[in-house]
Amino acid sequence: MAAVATVSSASGILAMLQEPAEELKLHALASLNSVVHLFYPEISTSIPTIESLYEDEEFDQRQLAALVVSKVFYYLGELNDALSYALGAGPLFDVSEDSDYAHALLAKALDEYASIKTKASKGIEEEENVDPRLEAIVERMLEKCILDGKYQQAMGMAVECRRLDKLEEAIVRCDNINGALSYCINLSHQYVNHREYRFEVLRCLVKIYQTLPHPDYLSICQCLMFLGEPETVASILDKLLSGSNDDALLLYQIAFDLVENENQAFLLNVRNRLTSQTPEPNPDSGLAEPDDQAGNAGTGSTEPSGDVQMRDDTATPNVSAHSVDPNEVARADRLAKVKGILSAETPIQLTLQFLYSYNRSDLLILKTIKQAVEMRNSVCHSATICANAIMHAGTTVDTFLRENLEWLSRATNWAKFSATAGLGVIHRGHLQQGRALMAPYLPQSGAVGGGSPYSEGGALYALGLIHANHGEGIKQFLRESLRNTSAEVIQHGACLGLGLAALGTADEEIYEDIKNVLYTDSAVAGEAAGIGMGLLMVGTASEKASEMLAYAHDTQHEKIIRGLSLGIALTVYGREEEADTLIEQMTRDQDPILRYGGMYALALAYRGTANNKAIHQLLHFAVSDVSDDVRRTAVMALGFVLYNEPEQTPRIVSLLSESYNPHVRYGAALAVGISCAGSGLSDAISLLEPLTSDVVDFVRQGALIAMAMVMIQTNESFDSRVGTFRRQLEKIILDKHEDTMSKMGAILASGILDAGGRNVTIKLLSRNKHDKLTAVVGLAVFSQFWYWYPLLYFISLAFSPTAFIGLNSDLKVPKFEFLSHAKPSLFEYPKPTTQQTTTSAVKLPTAILSTYAKAKSRAKKDAESKANQEKATEDASGSTSSKAAKTQEKDADAMQVDNAAEKKAPEPEPTFQILTNPARVIPTQEKFIKFIEGSRYVPVKPAPSGFILLQDMQPTEAEVLALTDAPSTVAANTGTAAAPGQQASSAMAVDDEPQPPQPFEYTS
């Protein structure tokens, strides 16, 4: 047959539907079903006929009719109707059919089911309303996925549809249970928006974990941490305490991972529970409410604890069985170590050692800034001090300050306060020596008028910064200082300090103390008190918030209202839906300052959730509020909500960044800065670039700071725009006619760009995707610097060291090598300082200081210094291979800069690099990290950075320790003594101006 006949119209079949005979109708329906994809427009006009067939109880092929109608509706785009008829089609609707129709309707069915389930979980009565047919379809679908081995799909659907029973089934039937579980954990963090439900999922996962023969304790403890169940964690740790050596490593690793999430209240609780050996009934062992735990932890560090039912059967018999001495000793030793880790002493000390010995901060940049800034301009002056503090955050290197004491003394009043507080940033984490270091500035109990209240207040604030989130040891002292003073500046410092030290502990007594300060109704002290209360109560969602809100309505002082509204916002940190009432209350307030606090509340309650509702609300306020402050904050708050998906932020705020309103532009800049911090994201940089040359000065300021936050630890060979940005900063700082605001921004940006001796980054998410409470809170308060410059120092809370620190079972750092499978130049420290001198030398004639002759002499000295440096580097090059590689790099750079020098053929760059423990591993580098097979140590978990416990495969051989205690003792014991040693070399440099500090100081 020549031509294949096809029907051109369905009218014939439709006509057949009208026939009186049943068989004909059936035949017509069957035919329609087969041609519906071609003739749905024609059929759609006859839908009523087919529907009436479906509704006809007598008709024995109602389901077929339903299927046909459903298909027509699907083609017409009426998915709701299509779905309801597909349900009517019963078994005729084939779940496994591979057609667009089936796919679309299944998706629709899942959505529908999920949304019904979600609604049902809110109002319990509606639970019964789920259409059983819908449920049947979903279950068929899940079953099929599991049978086909598409476990991830099944898990995703089960989570989405709130079918934990099916989730469990999918996981248990999966061939790779551990993989499935970790996938689910990821899933619950990324896609489960509802907090309560996320907890349910996690609880379910923990339950499955515990049934496994070899539970993955690392993951379990992470889950439990999310759930806030310290007693279970404690019991797991306890079990591991009496296990083998491997268990001990695992134990330490768990402890380190928990510490990384920075939840002080939780950690304290776990630690306290580990303390008591004798199980005693704990009044609130059953409660999982964070408030209660926080309360426990705060009020009684001696409180008897321990979970008990579990420990009774597991740990206790164990202990009694092995009552032999060595075991007990080992156990005690381990217990001490774990407690050391959990109290964050060990990690902080290791970090301190790392930051101290790897400090690469560039004093020359600071010197340039110092010289460029006018003496009388106190804003830029204190910005410079702040930049110094940020650059040396946590390194304990205060050389710059010591060398410029006279210059420093120009800081008066609040500038003095800030300058003193800056010391706290520099010595951050210096827990043992912190108080001794600050002693000269602290208020003396006997002597009155010993120091200015500003430096005393600043010192208390500094103590808070040093002990931020680990303030067990210091809070008593801070409380006394707060009680013993009536000077509002000191109260200000003490409130901030206390808030920082007791972050999130919800300590009642401290709260009362701060509240008393608040009720003095002094503007200065009250503002700090408001923030302090917030810090104390972070994430507790306590009813204290309403107390604070009431006072905010009472007081006349804007400063106090502002402090309180931020404080209130802090209390609902991470509470998501729970905070909605409070947020609603604040955002509807008549007072713009409270609405502004409401924006922060939204930001913090929904931090890092990318919750659509929150984003929607924030965007609404960003464009519709009458107050510029509220709008600015609303846009900025987007940054907090979106920091778990940094790629999204530039897209969402891109329109806002072109707003006519400079406040909105400023907010957009900071939003990008906050959410993309430390990512070096190209989109973010492209968005910020035009803003750095905005017409309005404060927008430039915000953009510069944000840009620095994004570019932190990115070097020029990774993204060439970093170099451009550094030059831009220099230009702004040196430009006499630049506005103070943007100059300040540029100075701070230089500080942030090289923060923490170039070894820290800003991270708001821990490696386990847990939000880092301290960091988020730090950035939130930092963003207040718009009103109050001393709050700039809060940014130090957001810094986390980018280090791989491998530890052996003694928690010492053994020598261990691993691979970074990328070009070394991509991730190395930024170019050496000499380059900057040369550029500044070229610019100097037009700039401030120098005459031509001076410049010339400087150039000469430059050459000399370079020779020195080369010599120095050659000396160092013998030590390790990695150092050698770096030195060569450096050499090559020096050559490029210095044209006069003899030319060497540039060596081809290696494509990999051997790193030695402890090593700087920046976030972008993490994916290139590989561990070398067959090396002596094997990491307990294959993470590319952070604290990693290493398993020693040759325990009999002597270990070579890499990071010895030597530098730390220098650092620890001689806050004063270490500095002179350095001073000797670099003091000259500063005074004689041209000589740069020795770039390499390998104290080992």
Partner 1 sequence: MDPKLVEVTQLFSRFKAAFSRNDFDTCVVLLSQLKVLLTKFPSLPPSFRQTPNAVEELKLARDIYEHAVVLSVKIEDQDAFERDFCQLKPYYMDTCGIIPPSPEEYPILGLNLLRLLVQNRIAEFHTELELLPASALENPCIKHAVELEQSFMEGAYNRVLSARQAVPHETYVYFMDLLAKTVRDELAGCSEKGYDYMSISEAKQVLMFSADQELQQYITEEHPEWEIKGGCVYFQKAKETQPCKEIPSLQVINQTLSYARELERIV
Q: Which is nearer to partner 1, 43 or 167 (CB)?
A: 43
Q: How far is the CB of 695 from partner 1 (least distance, A)?
A: 17
Kindly report the number of other CB atoms within 10 A of residue 218's CB atom.
18
Residues that bind partner 1 (CB under 8 A): 1-16, 18-21, 23-24, 27, 31, 34-35, 622-624, 655-656, 658-661, 664
Q: Which is nearer to partner 1, 12 or 845 (CB)?
A: 12
Q: Which is nearer to partner 1, 42 or 898 (CB)?
A: 42
Q: Which is nearer to partner 1, 9 or 476 (CB)?
A: 9
Nearest-angstrom CA–CA distance, 157 and 915? 43
Q: How far is the CB of 671 from partner 1 (least distance, A)?
A: 14
Peptide bond into 592 cis (omega under 30): no
Q: How far is the CB of 608 from partner 1 (least distance, A)?
A: 25
Pick from 347, 396, 401, 346: which is nearest to 370 by CA? Answer: 401
Q: Which is nearer to partner 1, 48 or 878 (CB)?
A: 48
User: Phi and psi at residue 963, in whole multiples of 5°?
Assistant: -95, 95
**77 dihedral zone (left: phi>0; alpha: psi -120 to 50; beta):** left
Burial 686-698 (b: 16+ CB within 10 A, else e): ebbeebbebebbb
Q: How far is the CB of 654 from partner 1 (least distance, A)?
A: 11
Kindly report the number of other CB atoms within 10 A of residue 284's CB atom.
13
Q: Which is nearer to partner 1, 5 or 448 (CB)?
A: 5
Q: Which is nearer to partner 1, 619 or 859 (CB)?
A: 619
Kindly report the number of other CB atoms within 10 A of residue 404's CB atom.
18
Which residue type occupies 296? Answer: N
Q: How far is the CB of 45 from partner 1 (least distance, A)?
A: 13
Q: How far is the CB of 623 from partner 1 (least distance, A)?
A: 4
Pick from 5, 17, 77: which is nearest to 41 by CA? Answer: 77
Q: Which is nearer to partner 1, 623 or 884 (CB)?
A: 623
Q: Rounded to the nearest 5 degrees, what angle is found at the Cα of 404, between the Cα atoms of 398 and 406?
A: 135
Q: Which positions ≥6 away from 761 have C-beta within 8 Å? A: 677, 678, 712, 713, 755, 799, 800, 802, 922, 923
Q: How far is the CB of 2 from partner 1 (least distance, A)?
A: 6
Q: Which is nearer to partner 1, 268 or 642 (CB)?
A: 642
Strand 803-807 relative to strand 946-952: parallel, antiparallel, unpaired?
Answer: parallel
Q: How far is the CB of 641 from partner 1 (least distance, A)?
A: 18
The angle that helices 195-211 and 164-173 make with each other, rounded to 10 degrees, is 30
Q: Is residue 883 a contact partner of residue 928, using CB atoms and an 8 Å limit?
A: no
Q: How far is the CB of 34 from partner 1 (least distance, A)?
A: 7
Nearest-angstrom CA–CA distance, 267 and 263? 6
Q: Which is nearer to partner 1, 52 or 186 (CB)?
A: 52
Q: Which residues pair with 951 in a beta bridge?
A: 938
Q: How far is the CB of 587 from partner 1 (least distance, A)?
A: 17
Q: How far is the CB of 40 from partner 1 (least distance, A)?
A: 14
Q: How far is the CB of 365 from partner 1 (least distance, A)?
A: 37
Burial class (CB within 10 angstroms; exposed 0-12, middle 13-18, buried 19+) of 663? buried
Q: Which is nearer to partner 1, 20 or 123 (CB)?
A: 20
The angle that helices 217-227 and 230-241 make with each other, rounded to 10 degrees, is 150
Q: How far is the CB of 43 from partner 1 (least distance, A)?
A: 12
Nearest-angstrom CA–CA distance, 689 and 379? 24
Q: How far is the CB of 480 from partner 1 (least distance, A)?
A: 50
Nearest-angstrom CA–CA distance, 696 and 692? 10
Q: Is residue 541 a contact partner of residue 569, using CB atoms and an 8 Å limit?
A: no
Q: What are the start-end ranges of the H helices in 644-769?
A: 648-653, 662-675, 682-691, 697-711, 720-734, 740-753, 755-758
Three-state SS for 999? coil
Q: How far is the CB of 25 from partner 1 (least distance, A)?
A: 10
Q: Which is nearer to partner 1, 21 or 324 (CB)?
A: 21
Q: Which is nearer to partner 1, 38 or 330 (CB)?
A: 38
Q: Rounded to the nearest 5 degrees, what angle is found at the Cα of 154, between the Cα atoms of 149 and 160?
A: 170
Q: Rounded to the nearest 5 degrees, what angle is found at the Cα of 734, between the Cα atoms of 732 and 740?
A: 60
Burial class (CB within 10 angstroms; exposed 0-12, middle 13-18, buried 19+) of 35? middle
Q: Which is nearer to partner 1, 42 or 292 (CB)?
A: 42
Nearest-angstrom CA–CA distance, 159 and 145? 14
Residue whose pair of structure tokens reads 């007594």 in the numeric block: 509
Q: Rounded to the nearest 5 degrees, what angle is found at the Cα of 840, between the Cα atoms of 837 and 843?
A: 155
Structure tokens at 967: 């530098």
Three-state SS for 330? helix
Q: How far is the CB of 619 from partner 1 (least distance, A)?
A: 9
Structure tokens at 989: 């440099």
Nearest-angstrom CA–CA distance, 578 and 252? 34
Q: Which is nearer to partner 1, 12 or 690 (CB)?
A: 12
Q: Which is nearer to partner 1, 12 or 281 (CB)?
A: 12
Residue whose pair of structure tokens reads 């029973």 in the numeric block: 165
Q: Which is nearer to partner 1, 599 or 605 (CB)?
A: 599
Q: How far is the CB of 585 from partner 1 (least distance, A)?
A: 24
Q: Which is nearer to partner 1, 3 or 447 (CB)?
A: 3
Q: How far is the CB of 18 from partner 1 (least distance, A)?
A: 5
The angle that helices 62-76 and 100-122 make with each other, rounded to 10 degrees, is 90
Q: Which residues pair with 800 in a beta bridge?
A: 761
Burial class (CB within 10 angstroms; exposed 0-12, middle 13-18, buried 19+) of 942? exposed
